Structure 1
C-alpha cells in the first residue's frame, strides 16, 4: 500500500537520488532539462509515493511550457524505484497526477517517451510540436485533458517564462 502526497521541499534530495538511480548518468543533459532550467515545477502536481514505512517508491514532476503560443504541461521525470517496479506504482502516479492536472484546469500535457508505454494512458504522437534538439520527434507525445486540446497547437516548445 502506498500513500501519495505532494512533493515537499524536504523531499527534493531523496527524489533527485531516485531519478539518478532510475535514469542514465547525464540525464540533465537531455533537451527536456533545458526547458526546466531555472523554472520551478508545478508544485501542486509533483507527487511522491511512499510505502507504509515512509520509504520513497516513486515520484513524478510537471513543468509549465509553451508550445507556440499555447500553454502546456511537460510531464517528467516520472520514476519508480527498481525494487518497486511491476507493482502498479507508475500507473498510480500517472493517473493521480493527470487527474489533478484536469481538476486544476490544465488543458494539455506532453512528454518525451515511449509511445507503447504512455499510449496506455492516452498519450499519442504530436505532429508539428518541436522539442529542442536532439529529441527524436517520434518520442514527443501529447495527451488532451479536454477535448481537442492539441488541435491546432504547433510550434517550438519553450520555457513558460
Structure 2
C-alpha cells in the first residue's frame, strides 16, 4: 500500500491524537506505557500511513524492552483511524514492522493484545513472560523472528532504562 513511511518528529502529535481517538482516555495509565516512559521508540520501526491527500490513516510504534538480560521489541500501540478501519491498514502496518524488525536483526517481538487477531501474524501466548500488572496474562503475546528466540525465556518484562 502506498503511503507508508517512517514516522517523523513532525508526525508525533498527530499520531498521539490518533491514539487518543482510537483508545480509551486512560491509555497512558496502562503498564505498557510505564515501560515506554523516558525511552525513545525504535525510529526505523515506527511507521505511519497517509492517504493521497496526506491524511493520517494509521500508525504503529515499537519500543525496546528487556526480559531478564534479553532484549525484545514491544509492539504498539497500533491504530487505524475509524474511517479507514476494515481496509487492511492495521495488518499492513503490523506486517511491515515484522519484516523490518527481522531485517534489522531483532530476535523477538512482544505485545499485549487479542490472540485471535494477532495469531494470524504468528503471535502466540507467552506463558512464562510476565508484563507488569495489571496486565491480563492471556494477552501477553510473542513472535519469534529467529527460530527459538522465546525458548527458555521467562521473567518479568522491564524497561530498558531500569
- Interval containing the TM-score (normalised by the shorter chain): over 0.9
Mapping for residues 40-59 of structure 1, pairs under 5 Å: 40-59=40-59
Q: Residues of 2 paired with 1:12 and 1:107: CA distance?
A: 27
**What's the RMSD between the two structures over aligned residues?**
0.7
Q: Residues of 1 paired with 2:68 and 2:128: CA distance?
A: 10
CA displacement 1:106-145 (0-9 Å, x = unmatched): 0000000000000010000001101100000010000000
What SS is found at the alignment partner of 2:38? coil
Counterpart in 2 of 1:120?
120
Mapping for residues 5-154 of structure 1, pairs under 5 Å: 5-154=5-154
How far 1:2 moved relative to its partner? 3.7
Q: Residues of 1 paired with 2:69 and 2:89: CA distance?
A: 34
Alignment: residue pair count:
161
What SS is found at the alignment partner of 1:41? coil
Runs of 4 or more off by more than 2 Å in structure 1?
Answer: none
Q: Residues of 2 paired with 1:16 and 1:138: CA distance?
A: 27
Q: TM-score if structure 2 supplies the norm length?
A: 0.98
The answer for unaligned runs of 5 or more in structure 2 is none
CA displacement 1:71-123 (0-9 Å, x = unmatched): 00000000000000000101110111110000000000000000000001000
The answer for unaligned runs of 5 or more in structure 1 is none
Q: TM-score if structure 1 supplies the norm length?
A: 0.98
